[in-house]
Structure 1
Amino acid sequence: MIAMGGVIGSGLFLSSGYTVSQAGPLGAVLSYLVGAFVVWLVMACLGELAVAYPVSGAFHIYASRSISPATGFTTAWLYWLTWAVALGSEFTACGLLMRRWFPDVSVWIWCLVFAAVVFGVNAFSARFFGETEYWFSLVKVVAVVALIVLGGAALAGFHPLAPSGSHHPFLLENFSTPHGLFPNGFSGVLVTVLAAFYAFSGSELIGVAAGETEDPSRAVPKALRVTVARLLVFFVGAIMVIAATIPYDKVGLDESPFVTVFSAVGIPYAADAMNFVIITALLSAGNSGLYSCARMLFSLAEEKQAPQALRRLSKRGIPLIALSVSMLGGLASLVSSVAAPETVYLVLVSIAGFAVVGVWMSIAAAQFFHRRAFVREGGDVRILAYRTPFYPVVPILAFALCAVSLVGIALDPAQATALYFGVPFVVACYLYHWLRHGRRSSRAAV
């Protein structure tokens, strides 16, 4: 449920509108199908690593042991960046949606309010966080199922509640219009793949929580299978309903496409109710993100790759200093007070998308080198509690598709900021590790 809570957030509830507007109906579905396929590839790699190294906040440990300490250090900070920046995008999305009820209140004020709420939930206790996140995630799942069922029924011709004259086209008429395939060409699909990847970010939280699971060899593979299957149904099903219901040139970042669909279906007060549900869902994703950020910093401090103050725990066992530092990324959403919120949101999504793709690439590479070293040392893959299928095709394909997605964002000026910020960030991490620990620690460990 933590993984589901982390994945179902602004990437589906808000930026899916941007994906449809740029890629068109069919292009948006294709982008999300590619995203789901890549998630399966990465999760297949993650399963073997998570069972082999069941350590809390373990992404950088996978890379450190299988590739090099420098790569592990960079991966850790990339993943922290993923969620620190994603926090800002979730809070900004909440502020944008609150304008439906409070159009005169600045977005940055809502960002501050929601940041305080999420911080409070995480700071109280781990048990309180887990219980809260479970119910938050359940609300989101119900919302997505309702969209698929009610929106799908309306598309099939069953829309008794819709106002007269506002009935939807039968089934997939939007897909058959002259511009329904790829209105902006295939490049429109390519530039939205990163947004789709961002929408799926959070599925790797299973690896973060593996060290806190009683029986990782049983629980982690099961969680991976169930999560990937549910994401495929929820995301692809939802994007098909959205793309079929709303013309691609009528959707964007000014309103959640979920709200637009429920308004069009004609359910009384559904738009306001869904707006509230979506805000709750976004806070849930931010809740999971802050949890992940704090655990990653704590894990870095445990490995003596971050200030030791980040290891300090409260009486309730919460890494409060790591939690506070991680919240700084969320406060980036306050930039929306002096800039266009939609622009700020898209920039944050792009940076977070770049970072999560970098982490996924490290997971794929780590599994490739881990398996190779295991076999070289005489290990029998048949004894592995979980092994990545179709090795080495799966890790190589996962790495290659992630790399291609980074090329796509260079074609979109609105998302190119991710490269301007992300590439120097990666270089700086490697350079810092090399200067602090020397060249030998930066060499591959394989």
Structure 2
Amino acid sequence: MAQQELKRDLANRHVQLIAIGGTIGTGLFLGSGKAIQLAGPSIIFAYLIIGIAVFFIMRALGELLLSKAGYQSFTDIAEDYLGPRAAFVTGWTYWFCWIMIAMADIIAVGVYVRYWFDVPQWIPAIICLLILLGFNLLTVKLFGELEFWFALIKVITILFLIAVGVVLLVIGFKTDAGTVTIQNLWEHGGIFPNGISGFLLSFQMVLFAFVGVELVGVTAAETANPKKNIPSAINKIPLRILFFYIGSIIILLCINPWTELNGAESPFVKTFSLVGIPIAAGIINFVVLTSAASACNSGLFSTSRILFNLSKTDQAPENFKKLNKNHVPGNALLVSTIVVSVGALLSKLIPEQAFGIVSTISAICFIWVWGVILICHIKYKKTRPELHAKSTFKAPFTPFINYAVLTLFGVILIIMLFASETRPALLLTPLWFVLLYVMYSLRRKSM
């Protein structure tokens, strides 16, 4: 019988690249076009604000995870500081977040493959899902290797874009849209061309670009040296945000006036086309394909570990805590994969709205999860000051910064209520929490 413990097979390079993969995804490669259309050059400040908030969330999570050796995810933390109901709701909500992300990305895989091959969209989606399932069933090290190479492709692409952009800036290169110059940042309607309203409306899309960064916390149970690797990965997040997000967006807007970018297409494709690379569309399509596969891979990993941890605390069926001979929660992984495959059905039933609805619901649920992390840290510092005092990885500026970020999330939710594109999802999401409340109440009665 397999030992019922997760195997610590993730090396430092895996954790570091998982952290990078969590901060670079389809939100940047695809979603940034829509965000730029809403906010213009002020999108730079939106990425900076949300990026800073994410860093402080991760510092709070890092301190909490390292404060007790038995923590395997932030659902364990919620259990300690907010009680079993909060742990139940947070654990299942986090599972739901990643199910939504994986659904959206597996649908996207099918779309991207159709760029080269005229096949029904669901076929490459299912093939990709089965391949990822196979790798994840084998060992956690294979998951780490997949994310390592997926993330490396993303990094190389952005490094190439930034390098090309700097050269074009220095030589004053002329494209079909005009001269490449830093003045493009303010010469087309100013920094805030659509006013404060356009700037604020971009926050939901920007926030969605960062979902998944906390995955480095989920890997805590399976990293070889968490006390060294987790702080290292978290402390490098600000540099990655500045370089990969803000750096690439600045370069994009210097090469292309923001008015030239279409929210329906990737600004990266547009940029490489303008600088005269004829195979740009194919290159970026491949990068976006690997990015979507990477997000789905992370989704399968995280959802299976969440179900495993929920089962260990009797908040999910007992079968989910069974590990196979490779120390992987196979049953939990299979169930999550089956649910993710429903994404193909959704794309057929509501093709125009499917991605927007699931991504918005995911962002709303991530606000819940991140909020729980911040609230737990506030209670940790207040009720267990001795642990905070001896912590070697103290979260800075607490509890003030915790309250500030929670306020920011409240403002974003209010903005989403007034935006026609996000309002339906915002009004639908409470049904999920009602369902969880009923599930928890029924579970309590049966005990």
Provide the TM-score with structure 1 as the length reference: 0.89
Structure 1's 174 and 419: CA in aligned 2 closer, same or farther, altered over 3 A? same
Distance 2:166 2:132 in 1: 33
Q: Which residue of 2 aligns with 1:19?
A: 35
Q: Deviations over 1:265-322 (max 9, x none)?
A: 1124233122212211221122112101110110000111000111122222221221
Contact residue 118 and residue 287 of structure 1 kept, 8 A: yes
2:144 paired with 1:137: no
1:83, distance to aligned residue in structure 2 (A)? 0.8
2:420 paired with 1:420: no
2:47 paired with 1:32: yes
Structure 1's 110 and 416: CA in aligned 2 closer, same or farther, altered over 3 A? farther
Q: What SS is found at the alignment partner of 1:206?
A: helix
Q: Which residue of 2 aligns with 1:444?
A: none
Q: Which runs of 4+ in 1 moved over 6 A?
A: none
2:334 paired with 1:324: yes
Distance 2:156 2:198 in 1: 31
Structure 1's 427 and 183: CA in aligned 2 closer, same or farther, altered over 3 A? farther
Contact residue 8 and residue 285 of structure 1 kept, 8 A: no
Contact residue 119 and residue 327 of structure 1 kept, 8 A: yes
Q: Which residue of 1 aligns with 2:229?
A: 219
2:86 paired with 1:71: yes
2:439 paired with 1:432: yes
Q: What SS is found at the alignment partner of 1:410?
A: helix
Q: Which residue of 2 aligns with 1:355?
A: 365
1:157, distance to aligned residue in structure 2 (A)? 4.1
Distance 2:104 2:293 in 1: 11
Q: Greater CA deviation, 248-257 or 63-72? A: 248-257
Q: Which residue of 1 aligns with 2:58?
A: 43
2:351 paired with 1:340: yes
Structure 1's 252 and 302: CA in aligned 2 closer, same or farther, altered over 3 A? farther
Q: Deviations over 1:191-214 (max 9, x none)?
A: 221221121112111211112233
Structure 1's 411 and 329: CA in aligned 2 closer, same or farther, altered over 3 A? farther
Q: 1:383 aligns with which of 361, 382, 390?
A: 390
Alignment of structure 1 residues 253-272 onto 2, 5 Å: 254-272=264-282
Structure 1's 250 and 288: CA in aligned 2 closer, same or farther, altered over 3 A? same
Q: 2:313 aligns with which of 283, 295, 303?
A: 303
Q: Greater CA deviation, 219-228 or 253-262? A: 253-262
2:77 paired with 1:62: yes
Q: What one-letter code is carried by the residue in structure 1 that aligns with 2:133?
A: F
Matched positions, count: 429
Q: What SS is found at the alignment partner of 2:236?
A: helix
Distance 1:326 1:176 in 2: 49
2:95 paired with 1:84: no
2:203 paired with 1:189: no
Contact residue 85 and residue 332 of structure 1 kept, 8 A: no
1:358, distance to aligned residue in structure 2 (A)? 0.9
Q: What one-letter code is carried by the residue in structure 2 that aligns with 1:391?
A: T
Distance 2:282 2:103 in 1: 23
Contact residue 158 and residue 244 of structure 2 kept, 8 A: yes
Q: What one-letter code is carried by the residue in structure 1 that aligns with 2:351?
A: A
Q: Greater CA deviation, 121-130 or 109-118? A: 109-118
1:223, distance to aligned residue in structure 2 (A)? 1.4
Q: 1:117 aligns with which of 127, 131, 146?
A: 131
**RMSD of the TM alignment (CA)?**
2.4
Alignment of structure 1 residues 390-409 onto 2, 5 Å: 390-409=397-416
Distance 1:7 1:428 in 2: 30
Contact residue 210 and residue 216 of structure 1 kept, 8 A: yes
Distance 1:181 1:358 in 2: 31
Structure 1's 89 and 168: CA in aligned 2 closer, same or farther, altered over 3 A? farther
Q: Deviations over 1:368-402 (max 9, x none)?
A: 00111112xxx263311221112211221222212
Distance 1:290 1:231 in 2: 25
The answer for unaligned runs of 5 or more in structure 2 is: 1-16
Contact residue 107 and residue 336 of structure 1 kept, 8 A: no
Q: What one-letter code is carried by the residue in structure 2 that aligns with 1:315?
A: K
Q: Greater CA deviation, 249-258 or 380-389? A: 249-258
Contact residue 150 and residue 290 of structure 2 kept, 8 A: yes
Distance 2:380 2:148 in 1: 33
Q: Deviations over 1:65-95 (max 9, x none)?
A: 1112111111111111111100122223333
Distance 2:107 2:171 in 1: 36
Distance 2:426 2:339 in 1: 18
Distance 1:351 1:55 in 2: 31
Q: What one-letter code is carried by the residue in structure 2 that aligns with 1:188?
A: G
Structure 1's 381 and 50: CA in aligned 2 closer, same or farther, altered over 3 A? closer
Contact residue 293 and residue 326 of structure 1 kept, 8 A: yes
Distance 1:241 1:129 in 2: 32
Structure 1's 57 and 244: CA in aligned 2 closer, same or farther, altered over 3 A? farther
Alignment of structure 1 residues 132-171 onto 2, 5 Å: 132-159=146-173, 165=176, 167-171=178-182
- Over the matched positions of the two proteins, sequence identity in percent amounts to 32
Q: Which residue of 1 aligns with 2:4?
A: none
Q: What one-letter code is carried by the residue in structure 1 that aligns with 2:429?
A: G
Contact residue 123 and residue 318 of structure 1 kept, 8 A: yes
Contact residue 350 and residue 417 of structure 1 kept, 8 A: no
Distance 2:210 2:101 in 1: 12
Q: 1:9 aligns with which of 17, 25, 31?
A: 25
Q: What one-letter code is carried by the residue in structure 2 that aligns with 1:78?
A: T
Contact residue 172 and residue 180 of structure 2 kept, 8 A: no
Q: What SS is found at the alignment partner of 2:246?
A: helix
Distance 2:318 2:81 in 1: 25
1:221, distance to aligned residue in structure 2 (A)? 1.5
Contact residue 10 and residue 93 of structure 1 kept, 8 A: no
Q: What SS is found at the alignment partner of 1:321?
A: helix
Provide the TM-score with structure 2 as the length reference: 0.89
